[in-house]
Amino acid sequence: MNSRLTGDETVLWQAAARVLDANWTGGATVPSPGLYPHQWSWDSAFVSMGLARHRHDRAEDELLSLFRGQWADGLLPHIVFNSRVARHAYFPGPELWDSDRQPGAPRDVRTSGLTQPPLHALAALRLHACAADLERSRAFLARLYPMLVAQHRYLARVRDLESTGLVAICHPWESGLDNSPAWDRPLGALQLPPTGYAPRRTPHTLPTGEDYDRYVRLVTLLRESGYHPGHLRETHPFAVEDPLVNATYLASTHALAEIARIVGGDPVPHREHADRVHRALLDRLWDRDTGCFRARDLRDGRLLPVVTVASFGPLLDPELPAPVVRDLTDLLLSARFAGAAGYPVPTCDIQAPAFDRGGYWRGPTWINTNWILWYGALAHGLPVVADLLYGSTLRLVRQSGFREYFDPFDGTGRGSHDYSWSAALVLDLLA
Ligand code: 2M8
């Protein structure tokens, strides 16, 4: 624990550490014991950064445990299932994905067949930056490096659908912002046969049953194609270049270059690739007319209309030109995103018709997205913005605890209690 913490901060720290201890299953952390009883990909990246401040050994195990689920082509699945958890405990369970019938999937663990924002190299480097035992940490990085390289190679080979440098998501779950209003248009265009799935998820009012029919339909198409790259490229109906996903990809590509340097590998190809992703982000997703980044629907070539918190993701790009950073911060601090009475950035433009203050990823404020913006603001030398994000994010957990998400106007906690990344990122903020 940081010895300069005030009494109040120490209490917060200890409470956050208790959440992570309680959600530790022996080799990894569940996002929340009741609602999400398996291991999730970007959750583990966030959680590892908090664990690094509390139990460094566990932080490394967290990432290694996730990579047990990696497929032969490098795909790092968004869920690694715990076989000891009852079948009905989470929908959709392993049977939806059939990973055990895929030749490239691991044999000893069942997984999903989707990705999530690739923050893992960035997380691994952050673990190293606060390691007490540098020799041990270097050995950990050397072990993880080839797995990270394979993860990035998969993204570049299989998910760069139009050879632009950017990667595409093929399912809303891959964005991490599941029911974001940004996905309403491409999801609405999806042809739906009747399915037999009916989610029973009382703590959430959203996504709705109809959203789930569409989510399941997209997975069915992927599974039936054998998760084939050709299907993704040519026919899969949901293919979107998202600014937040690509910003995490870019930040992790930079981190990969640094990890390569530390472990005696060649950083140059990673640096060159980062440069390509940086240029593509600006060429393809920056919308000069509205002064923000937007997701691009590859199936009709158009930018998606709703501005969400993902539009600020490219603050993670260290080379973002100063005028672009200025436009983004102006929007971030405007009534559309920061008008929420001292609480941090909501998931959707408050003035958009789709904004819903209680609607999961359609309006509430989340700790992880605000952590990303805080991190990006610091890297761009914007201490005032970073301080605002820092203070308002901590205010949420002081007021409502480590909830999954929060009302952006009054900070009321929503969704699950004792949510791991909310606790972990508070540890990282306080460190
Ligand atoms: C939520 O996503 C899962 C599907 O992957 C779900 O709704 O059941 C999202 O908040 C996602 O970003 C997160 O990683 C996951 C586990 O916390 O839950």
The ipTM of this complex is 0.99
Q: What is the largest CA-CA distance in the chain?
A: 59
Nearest-angstrom CA–CA distance, 243 and 260: 25
What's CA 358's distance to the chain center, in Å?
20
Q: Which atom of ligand 1 is nearest to the CA of 79?
A: 5
* The predicted structure's pLDDT at residue 341: 73
Span 103-126, pLDDT tens digits: 999 999 999 999 999 999 999 999
Q: Answer whether 183 contacts ligand 1 (Cβ < 6 A).
A: no
Q: Of 413, 394, 305, give the one whose Cα is nearest residue 352.
A: 305
Nearest-angstrom CA–CA distance, 158 and 230: 9
Coil vs helix vs strand at 205: coil
Query: Which domain CATH number covers 290?
Result: 1.50.10.10
Protein residue with least CA distance to atom 9, ligand 1:
176
Flag whether 418 is in a domain.
Answer: no
* The predicted structure's pLDDT at residue 203: 45
- Please tell me the pTM assigned to this model: 0.96
Count of the separate structural domains present in the chain = 1
* The predicted structure's pLDDT at residue 32: 96
Q: Active-site residue among 404, 407, 418, 428?
A: 404
Q: 136-165 burial, b if ≥16 CB within 10 A, otherwise e?
A: ebbebbeebbebbbbbbebbbebbbbeebb
Flag whether 274 is in a domain.
Answer: yes
| The one-letter amino acid at 150 | A
Span 218-250, pLDDT tens digits: 999 999 999 999 999 999 999 999 999 999 999
Q: Answer whether 31 contacts ligand 1 (Cβ < 6 A).
A: yes
Q: Of 9, 2, 33, give the one whose Cα is nearest residue 20.
A: 33
* Residue 132: how many other CB atoms lie within 10 Å: 7
Flag whether 431 is in a domain.
Answer: no
Query: Domain of 73?
Result: 36-337
Coil vs helix vs strand at 306: coil
Name the stretches of the chain with pLDDT < 70: 194-206, 339-340
For the packed helices 120-129 and 56-67, what is the interaxial angle rounded to 10 degrees?
160
Flag whether 90 is in a domain.
Answer: yes
Flag whether 220 is in a domain.
Answer: yes
Flag whether 13 is in a domain.
Answer: no
Strand-pair partners of 231 = none
* The predicted structure's pLDDT at residue 197: 54
* The predicted structure's pLDDT at residue 202: 46
Flag whether 427 is in a domain.
Answer: no
Q: Answer whether 173 contacts ligand 1 (Cβ < 6 A).
A: yes
Nearest-angstrom CA–CA distance, 343 and 410: 7
Say if residues 285 and 294 touch (Cβ distance below 8 Å).
Answer: yes
Nearest-angstrom CA–CA distance, 415 and 204: 6
Q: Answer whether 37 contacts ligand 1 (Cβ < 6 A).
A: no
The label of the residue with tokens 């047990």 reads 68
Identify the helix (H) or strand (E) that includes residue 384: helix 383-400
Flag whether 330 is in a domain.
Answer: yes
178 is catalytic: yes
135 is catalytic: no
Nearest-angstrom CA–CA distance, 119 and 320: 18
